[in-house]
Every structure is written in structure tokens, then in C-alpha cells.
Amino acid sequence: MRIILYLGKGGVGKTTVSAATATAIARSGKRVLIMSTDVAHSLADALGVELNPKAVEVEKNLFAMEVNVLAEIRENWTELYSYFSAILVNDGASEVVAEELAVVPGMEEMISLRHIWKAAKSGKYDAIVVDAAPTGETMRLLGMPESYGWYSEKIGGWHTKAIGFAAPLLNRFMPKKNIFKLMPEVNEHMKELHGMLQDKGVTTFRVVVNPENMVIKEALRVQTYLNLFGYKLDAVVVNKILPQHSSDDYLTSLIAQQRKYLKVIDDCFYPIPILKASQAPHEVIRTDQLHALSSQIFDGSKPDDILYKEEKTQVLEKVDGKYVLRLHLPNVEITKLNVNIKGDELLVDINNFRKSIVLPNILIGRKTEGADFDQGHLNITFAN
Ligand SMILES: Nc1ncnc2c1ncn2[C@@H]1O[C@H](COP(=O)(O)OP(=O)(O)O)[C@@H](O)[C@H]1O
Ligand SMILES: [Mg+2]
């Protein structure tokens, strides 16, 4: 069984690429579920069918569902939900505002993750493709070995803040209870899911980008944090690539700009495979068009293969009390090397290519102390 998660900035084509991947897997004869956990639902539009939280078979072997996190919280987590709204109302919030705010941060992502766990455990599918919400919350949740521990802590902090001065009053009408116990089984599920997501033979993450500066930067951040948390990025999908030539000035200038950023993508994500899809002159909807898009993207490789099997591209270690960032750069010969820090970015110039890395928070503000290259690895040491 394979789990493939697509991440990336909004609008880059995550939903489209996820749906294309799932269609290709289904048409290769395997049972696949595509699940959208993004609140901004567009999977139904991409597939051209109505979807709901129960999986429907769109065509042979292709199952799809849209998780409606907010409705689910309202329906299945009522106790927790009303507990929080009651606290908020007591704190002076109007009922409407209270209901809006009672969705605890992190809860949406956790419910989404739980759906992945359920589908994976069901044994019904050869592959699960997840069109994920690309938020920092998801990344942080993925980062915790025991996500639930982090989650309960978060609720704890939020809870204390929400009660504030109203605590004595609240305690009178609402007995203090352990709200974490309201979700007893979640802990186990989260741990199990975490194991599956870290299993490199099962789960791989892919990031979707367009040849645009800000989009690339977000993708680099995704790469940094995935690596830091022990997950595997196995491909970068560059979507919406314009044709090579145009007689139109406006398009010619956009094409030149894209060319520049395509080189940036090649340099920055090396040695991870880069897959490409062109900007279609029309919407890419329904399975036939999605399938055509997938043939471009995978171009001979299988959509459910693990596309990058080498070691992680970035590893952060502590050596003799100092942080060392180890970059995997196979088949690179270094004759010229320059390392610079600009804000939260580390710029590594090697010969005539430039790799840019978004630094994890713990490295921001530190200076580099030295860099050495050894057997395909560039080790950069940071000062304390
Ligand atoms: N390769 C492509 N060619 C043309 N239009 C595309 C392509 N990929 C995505 N789109 C369109 O771009 C819009 C955003 O795509 P979507 O997959 O919803 O992005 P995301 O899920 O990342 O927000 C949609 O209207 C979609 O049809
Ligand atoms: Mg989407």
C-alpha cells in the first residue's frame, strides 16, 4: 500500500495533480482513493462529479472523497465543541463568534489525518492520494512523534487563555473535566498513522510548484521541514509551464521569467526528480483530461512508484554541540563554493549553480562557521 501526499502553495495545481495521479493509478488497474482534506474543496470540480465524505467510485478503481472537517467537528465532536463555545460565550463572545472560534487550531488537520489513517487501515486500497491543506499547522502536526501530545498541550494552552478571568465563574457552573479524555482513541490512531507516514516504503510526499519565486520559496520550506521531521520528498512537480516560444510580447516575457525559475527549481531541488506539466490552454477537468496530464507528468515512470530512493537531501545534526547541516549532492564536483545567509535563506553557490535552502527556525540568526565537502555531502557548520 502506498500513501502519496501532495503539498504546495494554494493555486499551484495540487488538486489537479493529485487527481491526475489518482486517475493514472486507477487506470493502471490498482484501487486508489483520492482524498481532499483542504477546506477549499475543488476535488469535485476537478473530477467533475459530486463528492461527499463517503468514498464514491468515480470510475473503475478510482474512489474519491472530500472530508468536510467543519461539519464533522459539529457532528461528531459536539462535546468538545460545545465546551469551547460555552467558555467563549462566557468570556463575552457572541454566540456566532464563539461557534466560529470554537474550532481549536490544529483540530482540522488532526481530523484530516485521522481520515488518512482510517482509509489506510481499511485495506480497501492499493494507494491513497492526499490532496492536503498546505498549512504550517499540518507540517507541525506531522512533525510531532506523538502528535496527540502536542495537540493536547495546545488545547491546554488555549484553554487556559480562553478561560482567563472567567475561570472562577466557569468552575461553578461547569465542573472541571479532563477534556483530553474526550478523544481517547485518537492518541493511538495518531501514533499509528505517524508510523505509516514515516515508513519510506509506504509514504512519500510530493510538492507542486509553478515557476514563480514565492511558490518556490514555500516549496523549499516544505522540503526543509519534511526532511527535518523525517519524511521523504520523492518528487517535485512543476506545473503550469508555458510553451517554449510565442510570437506575443507579453507571453515571451512570461516565458523568459519561467525559464529563469525553472533553472532555480532544478538547482534547488537537485537530486530529487523534477516532473513537469505544461499549462493547458483550457481547464484540466474530468478523468480523461487528468489522465492526459498525468502522462505528461510521469512520462514513463509509474505514478505510484517511489521516485526518489536515495538518502534525504538535507539532514540537520548536532556534532560536538554545534549544528551541522548536511546536504546530499551526489555527482557534484566542487571547484568553487560560496555559502551566504540572507534572512531565513541559506544560499549555496557551487560552481555555476546556486542552491537555496530555507532554514529551519533553530538556524535562523546563526552565522555559518565553515563548510566542507566530502563524498557527495556538503557539511555546513553553524556557530552557536
Ligand atoms: N496544467 C494546468 N493547465 C491548466 N490549468 C491548470 C493546470 N493545473 C491546474 N490548473 C487550473 O488552475 C487552478 C488551480 O488548480 P488547483 O489544482 O485547484 O490548485 P490547488 O489545489 O493547488 O489550489 C484550477 O482552475 C485548475 O483547473
Ligand atoms: Mg486544492
* Tens of pLDDT, residues 180-194: 444 556 667 777 888
Instruction: Give the residue, 133 or 135, on which the prediction is more confident.
Output: 133
| Mode of pairing for the β-strands spanning 2-7 and 233-241 | unpaired
Q: Ligand 1: which of 6, 14, 16 to mutate, judged by most atoms within 8 Å of the beta carbon?
A: 16
39 pLDDT above the threshold of 90: no
Near ion ligand 2, which residues have CB within 5 Å? Answer: 14-15, 38, 42
Report d(CA 347, CA 341) in Å as an integer.
Answer: 6
CA-284 nearest atom, ligand 1? 27
Confidence of residue 175 (pLDDT cuts 50, 70, 90): very low
Name the strand (E) or helix (H) holding 195. helix 186-198
- Ligand 1, atom 15, lies closest to the CA of 13
29 pLDDT above the threshold of 60: yes
Q: Which ligand gives the minimal distance to the CA of 281? A: 1
Q: Per the omega criterion (within 30 degrees of 0), is the bond before 330 cis?
A: no
Q: Which ligand gives the minimal distance to the CA of 39? A: 2
Q: Which ligand gives the minimal distance to the CA of 243? A: 1
- Ligand 1, atom 12, lies closest to the CA of 13
**Residue 149 Cα to chain centre, angstroms:** 21
> HSE of 37 in the Cβ direction (CA atoms, 13 Å)?
25
**CB within 6 Å of ligand 1 — which residues?**
8, 10-16, 42, 239-240, 277, 279-280, 283-284, 293
Q: Which ligand gives the minimal distance to the CA of 297? A: 1
Residue 8 corresponds to which cell in the numbers above?
504546495
CA of residue 354 to ligand 2 center, whole Å:
30
- 327-357 tens-digit pLDDT: 998 888 888 889 999 989 999 998 878 889 9
380 pLDDT above the threshold of 80: yes
Report d(CA 57, CA 317) in Å as an integer.
Answer: 45
Q: What is the pLDDT of residue 346?
A: 93
Per the prediction, the chain carries an average pLDDT of 84
- 80-115 tens-digit pLDDT: 667 666 766 766 667 677 666 666 656 677 778 888
pTM: 0.85
CA-240 nearest atom, ligand 1? 1
Report d(CA 217, CA 224) in Å as an integer.
Answer: 11
CA of residue 208 to ligand 1 center, whole Å:
11
Domains and CATH numbers, the chain: 2-71+105-153+185-298 (3.40.50.300), 314-382 (2.60.40.790)
CA-8 nearest atom, ligand 1? 22
